Amino acid sequence: FPGILSNPQLVPVQRSFNVVLNQNVTLSCCSASGSPPVRYTLFKHNQQVSSLNRSDSTPALFTLTISSASDVGPYKCKAEHNTSSDGKYSNSLNFTLIEPISKPVLSSPTSHTAKGQNVTLSCFSENGSLPITYIFFKGKQSISPPKMMHEREAAVIFLFVNSSTDSGTYKCKANNSFPNSMKYSNSFNFTLAEERSHSQALVISLGLILLLLVIGFALAIPFFIIPSYKASE
């Protein structure tokens, strides 16, 4: 009589559960105990996909193509002897379909600021598998630790504008588990309102005073010239 089969183990040969569309994957199904021959059957959503007979203890290998979201699983494998009606089922296995991210957009509620103000920057990729990790830069220098977002929402940082150098140029970077998915955003600059120096204010004040004196002198001329003209007649 054949040895009693153990529940088979179903594992991806590539050791990763992340897949992309149109990727080929191979599933390995094998019972650790039980004498051959053994018949292995792969199921997806309880529907039979394929069957393989093994005359030795080597695993059955099933190659699949992930062509749509429905191909991620769940998968199960059944091991059975031809002489027995009782089969043993494996663990359930699901793949995770990952998608590349779209180019992130870097934005702020305002593009105008002044020294001493707080501003916010947000970075967001509309498409791509979660989680997505964002990093903010000023020039080529990172200005934030990686922010991993598990929801479809923007990563936000807060900045304090202390000098003219804080006006930009800013960028952000986004990436996820998709191979070579890293993408950079557009550039963003703040327009910094210029503060007038004390000397500029003094020059403007003197100019206004001079203008008022000229206007006052022009208005006073009729009061001095006309009476003197009448007195000479």
- Find all residues with CB under 8 Å of 95, minimum gap 6, and list them: 12, 17, 18, 19, 25, 66, 71, 72, 73
CA neighbours closer than 13 Å in the CB half-sphere of residue 14: 12
Residue 141: beta bridge partners? 138
- Find all residues with CB under 8 Å of 231, minimum gap 6, and list them: none
Would you say 94 and 75 are in contact if contact means Cβ atoms under 8 Å apart?
yes
For residues 164-193, b (16+ Cβ closer than 10 Å) or e, as one string? eebbbebbbbbbbbeeebebebeebebebe
Cα–Cα distance for residue pair 181/174, rounded to 1 Å: 8
Calculate Rg over the CA atoms of the chain: 38
Predicted pLDDT of residue 69: 87
20: three-class secondary structure by DSSP: coil
Cα–Cα distance for residue pair 35/136, rounded to 1 Å: 59
Cα–Cα distance for residue pair 73/17, rounded to 1 Å: 11
CA dihedral over 39, 44, 48, 49, signed as positive or negative: negative
Q: Domains plus CATH for the chain?
A: 8-97 (2.60.40.10), 105-192 (2.60.40.10)
53: three-class secondary structure by DSSP: strand
Mean pLDDT per 10-residue segment, the chain (233 residues): 82 92 95 89 95 93 93 95 80 93 94 89 95 95 95 95 86 92 94 60 67 72 60 57
Q: Which segments of the chain are extended strands (E)?
A: 9-12, 18-19, 23-30, 38-44, 47-54, 60-66, 75-80, 88-89, 96-97, 105-107, 112-113, 118-124, 132-138, 141-142, 147-149, 155-160, 170-175, 183-184, 191-192
Cα–Cα distance for residue pair 4/173, rounded to 1 Å: 55
